[in-house]
Amino acid sequence: MDQDPRFAEFVAERGDALLRYGYVLAGNPHDAADLVQEALVKLRASWARVRLKDNPESYARTTMARLHIRAWRLRRREHLAWDPPEREHHDTLPDGDEQRLWHALAGLPRRQRAVVVLRYYEQLTDEEIARVLGVSRGTVRSQAARALAKLRDSVSTESAVPTSRGEAR
C-alpha cells in the first residue's frame, strides 16, 4: 500500500480534535485513544475513496460513534472513573457548575451519553443520530429525554448539597 501524504497531513491537523471528540464520547482518555486509533485504521483503508467524495473527518467521527456503540452493546455494563489524561492536555477542565455537569455526563449510561454527545456536541438531528447508532428515531428521543432528566437531577442534587457552613452551594 503506497503512502498518501494527505492522510498524514489529515491526521496531523485533525488528530487532536478527534481525540477530544473521543474523550467526550467515551468518557475517559484510554477509550478515546482506542476509538481514534481504530477509526483512523478504518479511514486509512478507505482513504482513496473517502478523500475524493466525502469529508474525512465526518467519516472518522461516524466510525468512532459506531465503534463506541458496538463496544457498549457488547459490554452493557460500565464502571466509569474520572481519571486525568496520562499525557499533557491543553484543554482546561471546567470548574464549578460545569465540572458537575461533566461528571454527570460521564455517569450516564453509554447509549444515553452517545445520544447527548451526538445531539449537542455534533449537533446532529434525531434521524442522523438514529442512523449513526443503528436505532429508531423514537429510541433516540427516549434516550435523550432520560439522559437530560438524569443530568438535571444530578446537577440540581449536587448544587443543593449543604456546605460546611450549612448553606447550599
User: What are the tens digits of pLDDT across the range 70-99?
Assistant: 876 666 555 555 665 566 645 555 566 677
Answer yes or no: are the C-beta atoms of 155 and 96 closer than 8 Å: no
Fold of 92-162: Arc Repressor Mutant, subunit A (1.10.10)
Residue 92 has a pLDDT of: 59
Amino acid at residue number 67: L
1-83 and 92-162: same fold?
A: no
162, β-bridge pairs? 168
pLDDT tens column, 98-145:
777 778 888 899 899 999 999 988 889 999 999 988 999 999 999 999
Q: Report the C-alpha gap between 31 and 114 in whole angstroms.
A: 14
pTM: 0.50
Domain ranges of the chain: 1-83, 92-162
Answer yes or no: are the C-beta atoms of 104 and 94 closer than 8 Å: no
Q: Report the C-alpha gap between 141 and 138 in whole angstroms.
A: 5
Fold of 1-83: Rna Polymerase Sigma Factor; Chain: A (1.10.1740)
Q: Report the C-alpha gap between 71 and 136 in whole angstroms.
A: 19
